[in-house]
Amino acid sequence: MPLWGRQFEVRTAMLPASRCNCSLCRRKGALMSPTFAASDLKIVSGEDALTLYQFNTRTAKHFFCKHCGIYPFHQTRKDPLLWRANIGCLEGVDPYTLEASVADGASLSVVEDA
């Protein structure tokens, strides 16, 4: 998948695709792939253009392009050994043609006292 000079490759199924209702995912609106192992993700170029965002428990790792703001993939909170990709970033795949469920990430939210 090219992102203006940045590329990654991923081996994952497209279904079951899902969205998440947590506060971050609800706002970014991405359609996510099923989970896959970290070894199935390869950053081909532009790793230096990625920026990491973590919130709440800081377990999940959400990556974004620091130039355009697009979210390409993230490490999951529920199982940090698993990752998901933004299907909208995958070349040749139209995310609007895929049915998707909604994962209940909101119920995983934990507000920690500072």
Residue 32 lies in a domain: yes
The whole-model pTM stands at 0.82
Confidence (pLDDT) at 110: 61
Nearest partner of 86 among 21, 37, 28, 40, judged by Cα = 28
Residue 42 lies in a domain: yes
Residue 112 lies in a domain: no
Confidence (pLDDT) at 3: 44
Residue 45 lies in a domain: yes
- Could you tell me the residue range of the domain that residue 69 belongs to? 2-106
**How confident is the model over 45-84, as pLDDT tens digits?**
999 999 999 988 888 899 999 998 999 999 998 899 999 9
Q: How many domains does the chain have?
A: 1
Residue 113 lies in a domain: no
Residue 111 lies in a domain: no
68, exposed or middle or buried, with CB in 10 Å at 0-12, 13-18, 19+?
Answer: exposed
**What's the CATH code of the domain at 27?**
2.170.150.70
Residue 58 lies in a domain: yes
Residue 43 lies in a domain: yes
Measured in Å, how far apart are the chain's first and last C-alpha atoms?
39
